[in-house]
Amino acid sequence: MKEINAIEYRDGTLYLIDQRKLPITYEIFQCKTYKDVEFAIRDMVVRGAPAIGAAAAYGVVLAAKEFIDNSKGDFLKNMEEALGVLNKSRPTAVNLMWAIRRMRNLIEENKELSVNEICKKIETEADKILNEDIETNKKMGKHGNKIIPEKATILTHCNTGALATAGFGTALGVIREAFYTGKDIFVYADETRPRLQGGRLTAWELKQEGIPAKLIADNVAATLIRDSKIDVILVGADRIALNGDTANKIGTFMLSVVAKAYNVPFYVVAPTTTIDFDTETGEGIEIEERSGEEVTHIENIRIAPEGIEVYNPAFDVTPGENITGIITEKGIVRAPYKENILKLK
């Protein structure tokens, strides 16, 4: 087992594996201010809903260090401004808003303490968020492994491993657990256009672990499903609505439709922190649209004609009716989703 630490905080600096550079180069991006963290989230130095939440928590730590010498009133005012900046760095992944809300509540509950004492509590809370996510992912791995057949061929989309979380992974964490427990599995990893998180990141993690796998173009997946070459599909999530509708990397919805047509089990793997209990259906999920250059260029090389308009949503919403089950740290949730998701609150 090879440990991958995508997020590490020490000595007043947040160290992130720069996921824009993998797999060509392994570089560490250093965040010394909360604005560095905001940039890292927005520019996808760090990505994946749980990882974004953990990074944002440490962004709050860095803000607290920046304002530690302020008067109490100025400290609280400046911290609220920093929380707002971090909260807006990306709009779809609910773990970001969850982590910021948790840190805001902590500050509010302890605002009568000295600034130094508040800062210590903020750092302790960020460490808790990081460690809780790792433990949560390991629990999901164990629950998810129960639905993985021996000699299973698994299809996955985007990156849901240690790079997308505080450690171990969500959907890729289930794959890891199946591999560690001796199941003779094989993985097909979608390349995941346009940012190629499957080709650049999931393939890299699978190689690091020695898990048997092949990388495929996104448009190969339907043929594999049709030809009965996929036993189960595992994907992550950036936000889950109360009715089970799930926002995940663009292309997930398309996979779910084909899987349903050919009766292939389709599972979402996500911690309960990714459930948005305030959003009834997928219609209420804001979908981030990113720069057209992600589609027209690869590594700064233009592959499309000048002047062509681009539609580039980062996510799509898979309806709950297409999902076989949602694997969480508390077990596997199945339909009826609203009724059963509310039991997790």
Q: Which residues in the chain are classed under CATH 3.40.50.10470?
A: 138-342
Secondary structure class of 297 (helix, strand, coil): strand
Average pLDDT, the chain: 96
Predicted local distance difference test score (pLDDT) of residue 345: 87
Q: What is the pLDDT of residues 23-48, one digit of tens each?
A: 999 999 999 999 999 999 999 999 99
DSSP H or E run through 174: helix 171-180
From CA 251, how far away is CA 7, in angstroms rounded? Answer: 27
Residue that is written with structure tokens 């240690």 in the block: 162
Predicted local distance difference test score (pLDDT) of residue 93: 78
**Whole-prediction pTM value?**
0.92
Predicted local distance difference test score (pLDDT) of residue 2: 57
From CA 201, how far away is CA 44, in angstroms rounded? Answer: 12
Return all residues near 88 (Cβ < 8 A) that are at least 6 apart: none
DSSP H or E run through 84: helix 72-87
Asked if 154 and 85 touch (Cβ cutoff 8 Å), the reply is: no
Confidence of residue 240 (pLDDT cuts 50, 70, 90): very high
Angle between helices 49-66 and 34-42 (to 10 degrees): 160
Q: Which residues in the chain are classed under CATH 1.20.120.420?
A: 7-137
Q: Does domain 138-342 have CATH number 3.40.50.10470?
A: yes
Secondary structure class of 272 (helix, strand, coil): helix
Q: Which residues of 208-232 are buried (b: 16+ CB within 10 A; e: fewer)?
A: ebebebebbebeebbebbeeeebbb
Q: Which of 36, 133, 190, 238 is catalytic?
A: 238
Compute CA 330 distance to the chain's CA centroid, rounded to the nearest angstrom: 18
Which is the CATH superfamily of the domain at 7-137?
A: translation initiation factor eif-2b, domain 1 (1.20.120.420)
Known catalytic membership, residue 276? no
